[in-house]
């Protein structure tokens, strides 16, 4: 079996060929992603794309562990990162370490990801110093949707310095990489040039050290809405709807199952 990439391998790709990253929540999709990706994230987006939740706020540790275990079974090469769910790390560095350690132990992940910049720097340092690689996530941080007043672009105009400070803080705190979500492209490029760890963009810039998308978004499987930063590389929801319609028509017409789908009993001679 192939050796998995580690957080240090990802960290060492700063300024090199772009890191290819996707989310995954299930074994079969993880197997597909593993063929092309350097990093596979078990994102808390699972709550919205697979469980029909209206935000990521109600995602639990148990959900992350169950999906993490499923994804781990599908990966050979990519680094697996598991999102820390809302309220599992914000209280204190000790709470964060305890839950990060549980996610690592119970899923076999190689790292965790958490949302927040300057205000989470102390926590990132605490976890990293105790042996758990941390990916940070700044800019639009969906777990803070209520405080941010919606899923808006972050760091426009004079707000750019806030995001820049967050990027510096998480890099200095020891994060091995940082997700930049929904920030102006110029700002993403400036941050990428300035900090020593790889930036992974989503709604950021092609100049980032890597890109990530939610797999159900890029496959056109989740089509409740489409953020501007999502590119649909396939239209699986439309394909699935067509397949289900054809199946329904064939059941109603008794043209499914056909001869090749049914079993013969010698007794009947056919
Ligand atoms: O939960 C998620 O899918 C994420 C990525 C979009 C970065 O955090
Ligand atoms: Na997330």
Spell out the SS3 assignment of 170-200: HHHCCCCEEEEECCCHHHHHHHHHHCCCCEE
Of the candidates 91, 172, 181, 194, the residue annotated as catalytic is 181
Query: According to the CATH classification, is domain 7-234 in 3.20.20.60?
Result: yes
Q: Binding site: residue ranges?
A: 44-45, 83, 113, 115
Domain boundaries, the chain: 7-234
Residue 1 has pLDDT above 80, yes or no: no
Average pLDDT over residues 68-90: 98
Whether the bond between 257 and the residue before it is cis, its omega within 30 degrees of 0, is yes
Rg of the chain (C-alpha set)? 21
Percent of the chain with pLDDT over 70: 98
Give dist(CA 10, CA 40) in Å, integer. 12
Is the predicted ipTM greater than 0.90, yes or no? yes
Our answer to whether residue 181 is catalytic in this structure is yes
Establish whether residue 43 lines the binding site of ligand 1, counting it when its CB lies within 6 angstroms of any ligand atom: yes
Give dist(CA 3, CA 21) in Å, integer. 18
Give dist(CA 153, CA 188) in Å, integer. 12
Establish whether residue 44 lines the binding site of ligand 1, counting it when its CB lies within 6 angstroms of any ligand atom: yes
Answer yes or no: pTM beyond 0.90. Answer: yes
Unique residue bearing structure tokens 């919606």: 150
**What is residue 142's predicted lDDT score, i.e. its pLDDT?**
97
The confidence band for 270, taking pLDDT boundaries of 50, 70 and 90, is low
Q: Binding site for 3-methyl-2-oxobutanoate: residue ranges?
A: 44-45, 83, 113
Establish whether residue 210 lines the binding site of ligand 1, counting it when its CB lies within 6 angstroms of any ligand atom: no
- Relative to beta strand 39-42, strand 177-181 is unpaired
Q: b/e per residue, 249-267, with b = 16+ CB within 10 A?
A: eeeeeeeeeeeeeeeeeee
């Amino acid at each position: 079996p192939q050796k998995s990439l580690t957080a240090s391998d990802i960290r060492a790709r700063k300024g090199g060929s772009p890191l290819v990253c996707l989310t995954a929540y299930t074994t079969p999709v993880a197997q597909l992603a593993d063929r092309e990706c350097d990093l596979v994230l078990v994102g808390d987006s699972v709550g919205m794309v697979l469980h029909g939740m209206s935000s990521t706020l109600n995602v639990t540790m148990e959900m992350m562990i169950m999906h993490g275990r499923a994804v781990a079974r599908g990966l050979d090469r990519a680094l697996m990162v598991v999102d820390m769910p809302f309220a599992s790390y914000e209280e204190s560095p000790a709470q964060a370490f305890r839950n990060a350690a549980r996610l690592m132990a119970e899923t076999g992940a190689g790292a965790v990801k958490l949302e927040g910049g300057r205000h989470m720097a102390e926590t990132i340092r605490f976890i990293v110093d105790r042996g758990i690689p941390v990916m940070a996530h700044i800019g639009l941080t969906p777990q803070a949707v209520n405080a941010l007043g919606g899923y808006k672009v972050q760091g426009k105009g004079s707000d750019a310095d806030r995001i820049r400070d967050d990027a510096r803080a998480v890099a200095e705190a020891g994060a091995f990489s940082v997700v930049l979500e929904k920030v102006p492209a110029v700002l993403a490029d400036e941050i990428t040039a300035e900090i020593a760890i790889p930036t992974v963009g989503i709604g950021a810039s092609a100049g980032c050290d890597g890109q990530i998308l939610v797999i159900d978004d890029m496959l056109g499987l989740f089509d409740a809405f489409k953020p501007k930063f999502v590119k649909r590389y396939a239209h699986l929801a439309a394909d699935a709807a067509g397949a289900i319609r054809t199946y329904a028509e064939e059941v109603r017409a008794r043209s499914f199952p056909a001869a090749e789908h049914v079993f013969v009993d010698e007794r009947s001679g056919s």
